[in-house]
């Protein structure tokens, strides 16, 4: 069974909510996950982030909808880690 363990996403988001609230909102939507955020660029009204989500079985759609709900948009998927786990 294929499971996504790690995603590296390029995100554009408004300044508000700030990165802390943004990371919290995503982490609360994805169970058993670790969210890492890094601000890459700051503009007048927006900021570009590198979002790293690690978990046991990630779903990209859930993460993207959490990002959209917070006013962000996914620019690109820059990295992914997938494992083939033996089914029990």
Partner 1 sequence: MPFEPFRRIQQFVFISQSYDIARRYFVVNSFDGALTMLGLLLGFHVSKGVDLEVAIPACLGAAIALAMSGLTSAYLSEKAERKREFKKLQDAMVSDLSGSAQDKASRWVPVWVALINGLSPLLMSLIIITPLWLVQLGFELPLGPFESAIGVAFALIFLLGIFLGRVSGTFWLFSGLQTLIIALVTAFLIYLIV
Which of 59, 52, 55, 61 shows the shortest CA–CA distance to 10?
52
Q: Pattern of binders to partner 1 over 15-54, x per CB under 8 A?
A: -xx---x---------------------xxxx--------
Element (DSSP H or E) covering residue 85: none
Q: What burial class does residue 72 get, using C-beta atoms within 10 Å of its C-beta: 0-12 exposed, 13-18 middle, 19+ buried?
A: buried
By CB under 8 A, residue 69 contacts partner 1: yes
Name which position in 73, 77, 83, 85 contacts partner 1 (CB under 8 A): 73
For residue 2, state whether it binds partner 1 (rule: CB under 8 A).
Answer: no
Of 73, 70, 51, give the one whose Cα is nearest residue 6. 51
Q: Near partner 1 by CB under 8 A, which window of 31-39, 49-57, 69-77, 78-86? A: 69-77
Residues that bind partner 1 (CB under 8 A): 12-14, 16-17, 21, 43-46, 68-71, 73
């Amino acid at each position: 069974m294929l499971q996504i363990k790690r995603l590296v996403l390029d995100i554009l988001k408004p300044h508000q909510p700030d990165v802390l609230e943004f990371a919290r909102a995503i982490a609360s939507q994805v169970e058993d996950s670790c969210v890492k955020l890094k601000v890459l660029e700051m503009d007048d009204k927006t900021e570009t982030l590198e979002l790293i989500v690690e978990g046991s079985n990630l779903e990209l759609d859930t993460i993207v909808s959490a990002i959209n709900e917070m006013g962000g948009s996914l620019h690109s998927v820059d990295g992914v880690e997938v494992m083939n786990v033996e089914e029990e």
